[in-house]
Amino acid sequence: MTHLNRAKATAIVRENPPKWMVFSVLGLAALLTLLAGCARAQDDITISHGISTFGELKYDADYPYLDYVNPDAPFGGEYSTWAFGSFDSMNPYIVKGSAAASSSIFIETLMTGTADESGSVYGLIAETLEYPSDKSWVIFNLRPEARFSDGTPVTADDVVFTHNVFVEKGIPSYRAIVGAQIASVEALDTYRVKFTFFEPSTSNENLMLAAGTSVLSAAQFENRDFAESTLDPILGTGPYVLQNLDVGKQLVYVYNPDYWGADLPINIGQNNFETIRFEYYADPTAAFEGFKAGAYTFRTENSSQAWAENYTFPAVENGWVVTEELANGNIGRAQGFFFNTRRGKFSDPRVREAIGMAFNFEWSNRTLFFGLYKRVNSFWQNSPLEAMGDIPADELAILEPFRDQLPAKVYDEPAYIYPVSGDNQIDRRLIRAAGALLDDAGWTIQDGVRKNANGEQLTIEFLNYSPLFDRIINPYLENLERLGIEAINNRVDTAQYSERVDSFDFDVMISTYANGLTPSLGLRQWYGSENADVPSRNRAGLKNEAIDALVELIISAENRDELNLRTRALDRALRALHIWVPQWFKDVHTVAYWDVYEYGDVTLAPYALGVSSWWWYSEEKAAALIEAGAF
């Protein structure tokens, strides 16, 4: 079934509850859809169906659908997976509460990206955007047909409201970034909204920032405080609405048969499931047993031990459950143990480096991970943004002004890579080297333990919420004890974990810094000093003037080569600061699923797996499993 006749067919089969800008003047938007090419300029105003960081778009204005989707994908069935812990909020845009899985599914943005292109967005709620050569403002022309799920139209006033409420009451790091770039947002008429920036720019970053604005219904919050956590879902324009929730147990989203955007080229071949269901588990082992029993049908396996040892149960052996390794073209995730540098005991990079040297990745990979992983060393591993080897002249020219704010090793040594450990869990050579660093930093052995000049003992608490990490952390603790450090693994529930992280009440936590191939304004959230002491993505609490300056250089890059070079310089500097102990990554998606899904002959998108979006449910395969007694 295609998207063109989806709404009609859905209305027919749904007898019982299921399981689960136009310009106001001159009609310019309509004219644009007839023109070939990405954009055109008129009176020094560029009008386009999309925007990219460096001005190049893969898809022309008249593209029929995205290259990686099946435009004839059947519609129906259910995608089901699992979620860890629990939730107490359906609002993912505020600090309060633990948001439910995919609780942003209701919300769409003015423009949206694709999974086969980095740093580009195309019209969604907004059909086009227009901006002057100095990029001091941008106007988005909303689609008159855009509707919230209650049938009310989307207007420019809703965009203005959303921007204002996010800045006033949203996540602090969002306010810090957006509030620093966007001076005002105003409704020009019903379907035209204008963003004015504080400063003109030679780059497209501000345009991209504005294009990513989510759109909420102003009417919904007339008598409701946006900042208060609630289980009432946010009214959005997206293809799914909430069907059912059972806190701590289950969450079900159902496709809206009246979804306004089903036939847009950006959506053709996507949103193919009638329902999307999350089953909640407090324990990963119980979650795996639930998958084996068919309680849910799709699983991305993150445990190397489970992937190597556990997928031998009968449903796999008889072909009912498929296991696959699918190519992952994204960068290696910056996953690691992150230090809370706000705490004085972690203020010296030598201390952080020494603690990192005690983690034996090679032994862990061989003994615990079955050799399935590679070591992460870079914040942009496995990409053109990764710093490598001795500092080249072009990176040196960028980093030279910051010699007083960065460790000397940035300039004198190759980009930092943690030493390769030996075959044994405890590599005495590295333990001795780590001990020497601690001695130099003033943490010496006193009465058999590490203490500073004030007699304070060096202790470390690893804050952890997953029992799967116990087997990784506990051997690490033994190595740290060899250094005279008292270290513990404190596993808490997800609610306590979130509360402690948000209040900076931790020594070391496990996190992933989600860097992309086209880094931009978001870098301020991860590494900016202004976000170090507010709930933000800057988990480590990093404050460094050189890092702040390098982030701004990246944001102002005018072409891809310049962006890549400046990011390599930032990567080199960050690695020398040792704000983390890097862990591991895989260049494949390891997935298991009951054989009811297909993704056809289309090319898998390099930057996303997209199961819940452009995969689809096979009624024929599901019937075969039922006949075979699988369910």
Identify the CATH number of the domain in which residue 102 sits: 3.40.190.10
Q: With bands split at pLDDT 50, 70 and 90, how would you rate the model's confidence at 468?
A: confident
Per-residue pLDDT of 573-592, as tens digits, reads: 999 999 999 999 888 899 99
pTM for the whole structure = 0.77
Residue 238, token pair as written in the block? 């997206």
> Using CA atoms, how far apart are residues 62 and 9, in angstroms rounded to an integer?
27
Q: What pLDDT is attached to residue 169?
A: 92
Number of neighbouring beta carbons within 10 Å of residue 623 = 11
- Average pLDDT (77-90) is 96
Q: What pLDDT is attached to residue 581?
A: 97
Per-residue pLDDT of 500-545, as tens digits, reads: 999 999 999 999 987 888 998 889 999 999 999 988 899 999 999 9
**Number of domains forming the structure of the chain:** 2
Residue 189, token pair as written in the block? 């008429």
Contacts of 310 (CB under 8 A, 6+ apart): 288
Residue 321: closest CA among 311, 307, 330: 311
Q: 341 and 201: one domain?
A: no
Q: 403 and 536: one domain?
A: yes
- Average pLDDT (22-28) is 33
Number of neighbouring beta carbons within 10 Å of residue 546 = 19
Which of 176, 192, 221 is at the close of a domain? Answer: 221
Task: Give per-residue burial for 272-284: e unless 16+ CB within 10 Å, then b.
Answer: bbbbbbbbbbeeb
Position 535 in a domain:
yes
Q: 390 and 515: one domain?
A: yes
Q: Is the pLDDT at 393 greater than 60, yes or no?
A: yes
Q: What pLDDT is attached to residue 27?
A: 38
> Using CA atoms, how far apart are residues 93 and 78, in angstroms rounded to an integer?
27
Identify residue 482 by its one-letter amino acid code: R
Q: What pLDDT is attached to residue 335?
A: 92
Position 311 in a domain:
no
Q: Is the pLDDT at 23 greater than 70, yes or no?
A: no
Render 338-388 in DSSP notation, one character per residue. Answer: EE-TTSGGG-SHHHHHHHHHT--HHHHHHHTSTT--EE--STTBTSTT---
Q: Is the pLDDT at 18 greater than 80, yes or no?
A: no
- What percent of the chain has pLDDT above 70? 93
Q: What pLDDT is attached to residue 585?
A: 86
Q: How many CA atoms lie within 13 A of 115 on its CB side?
A: 20
Position 624 in a domain:
no
Per-residue pLDDT of 337-357, as tens digits, reads: 999 999 999 999 999 999 999
The answer to whether 543 and 529 are in contact (CB under 8 A) is: yes
> Using CA atoms, how far apart are residues 457 and 233, in angstroms rounded to an integer?
48
> Using CA atoms, how far apart are residues 497 and 510, in angstroms rounded to an integer?
11
The answer to whether 45 and 138 are in contact (CB under 8 A) is: no
Position 211 in a domain:
yes
> Using CA atoms, how far apart are residues 49 and 29, in angstroms rounded to an integer?
9
Largest CA distance in the chain: 83
Place of tokens 């102990």: 581
Q: 35 and 156: one domain?
A: yes
The answer to whether 460 and 487 are in contact (CB under 8 A) is: yes
Strand partners, 488: 461
Strand duo 78-84 + 275-281: pairing: parallel
Residue 196: give the domain boundaries.
3-64+84-221
Q: Is the pLDDT at 12 greater than 80, yes or no?
A: no
> Using CA atoms, how far apart are residues 376 and 469, in angstroms rounded to an integer?
17
Q: What pLDDT is attached to residue 173?
A: 76
Q: 438 and 574: one domain?
A: yes
Which of 198, 221, 244 is at the close of a domain? Answer: 221
DSSP 448: T
Q: 339 and 482: one domain?
A: yes
Q: What pLDDT is attached to residue 271?
A: 98
Residue 550, token pair as written in the block? 């390098």
Render 461-498 in DSSP notation, one character per residue. Answer: EEEE--GGGHHHHHHHHHHHHHTT-EEEEEE--HHHHH
> Using CA atoms, how far apart are residues 210 and 201, in angstroms rounded to an integer?
14
Per-residue pLDDT of 192-232, as tens digits, reads: 999 999 999 988 999 999 999 999 999 999 999 999 999 99
Position 246 in a domain:
no
- Average pLDDT (117-138) is 96
Q: With bands split at pLDDT 50, 70 and 90, how would you rate the model's confidence at 150?
A: very high
Which range among 17-21, 214-218, 383-387 shows the weakest confidence by mean pLDDT? 17-21
Position 266 in a domain:
no
> Using CA atoms, how far apart are residues 570 and 546, in angstroms rounded to an integer?
9
- Using left for φ > 0, alpha for ψ between -120 and 50, and beta otherwise, residue 396 falls in alpha
> Using CA atoms, how far apart are residues 267 and 65, in angstroms rounded to an integer?
7
Q: What pLDDT is attached to residue 25?
A: 32
Q: 340 and 477: one domain?
A: yes
Long-range contacts of 595-600 (CB under 8 A, 24+ apart): 595/319, 595/320, 595/321, 595/322, 595/621, 595/625, 596/77, 596/297, 596/621, 596/622, 596/625, 597/79, 597/297, 597/298, 597/621, 599/70, 600/70, 600/73
Q: With bands split at pLDDT 50, 70 and 90, how would you rate the model's confidence at 458?
A: very high
Position 289 in a domain:
no
Identify residue 262 by its one-letter amino acid code: A
Contacts of 173 (CB under 8 A, 6+ apart): 524, 525, 531, 534, 535, 536, 537, 538
Q: What pLDDT is attached to residue 31?
A: 36
Q: Which residue has the higher pLDDT, 274 or 604?
A: 274
SS3 label, residue 5: helix
Q: Per this entry, what is the length of the chain?
A: 631
Per-residue pLDDT of 94-122, as tens digits, reads: 988 899 999 999 999 999 999 999 899 99
Place of tokens 């952390």: 473
Q: What pLDDT is attached to residue 174?
A: 81
Q: With bands split at pLDDT 50, 70 and 90, how would you rate the model's confidence at 454?
A: very high
Q: What pLDDT is attached to residue 600?
A: 76
Q: Is the pLDDT at 391 greater than 80, yes or no?
A: yes
Q: 555 and 415: one domain?
A: yes
Mean residue pLDDT of the chain comes to 90
Q: 567 and 431: one domain?
A: yes
Per-residue pLDDT of 161-196, as tens digits, reads: 999 999 999 888 788 789 889 999 999 999 999 999
Q: 209 and 342: one domain?
A: no
Q: Is the pLDDT at 1 greater than 50, yes or no?
A: no
Q: What is the CATH number of the domain that holds 407?
A: 3.10.105.10
Position 77 in a domain:
no
Q: Is the pLDDT at 143 greater than 90, yes or no?
A: yes
